[in-house]
Amino acid sequence: MDQDKSTSLLIRQLRDIQSHADKIVNGDSSSSNIETFSRYSIELVAYVKEKIDTPEILKFIVEIPTINYKKTEIKFWQFLILPLWWLILYKDYQIRNQAVQEIRHSRGKFATLEVMMNDLKGV
């Protein structure tokens, strides 16, 4: 019973993170959304490693990319130097686009993990 409930909750979390990834990939790629997805993804992978003991799933979970995104903060003095300010914004733009590509890849991995968990549960 307890394992079954835990598996059901994990499947719900996997659907939730896929929904969040879809929102980011389909255009709402703000820094705060990417940062939230990054934290949620790391926590979810850690939870799966802790709670699931199936070798196939543990082997697969390692393939999910870790997204380490931190929002770029521009200091006041950087606004005073226009070229530096633009370079920082451009660098953040490139990093954010890279993170969106990694999120797209992660979304597919989480979908596969959901199928594996459904098979484990026997749905």
70 vs 39: CA distance, rounded Å: 10
* pTM value surpassing 0.75: yes
Contact 52, 14 (CB under 8 A): no
Residue 77 tokens, joined: 């003095």
CA atoms 100, 102, 105, 106: torsion sign = negative
**Average pLDDT of the chain?**
85
pLDDT digits (tens, 9 = 90+) for 6-43: 788 889 999 999 999 999 999 887 888 999 999 999 99
pLDDT digits (tens, 9 = 90+) for 88-115: 778 888 888 899 999 999 999 999 999 9
pLDDT of the residue at 29: 79
pLDDT band at 1 (very low <50, low <70, confident <90, very high): very low
43 vs 99: CA distance, rounded Å: 17
Cα-flanking dihedrals φ and ψ of residue 71, to 5°?
Answer: -60, 135
Domain map of the chain by residue range?
Answer: 2-121
Angle at 96 between CA 95 and CA 102, to 5 degrees: 90
Residue 17 tokens, joined: 């993170």
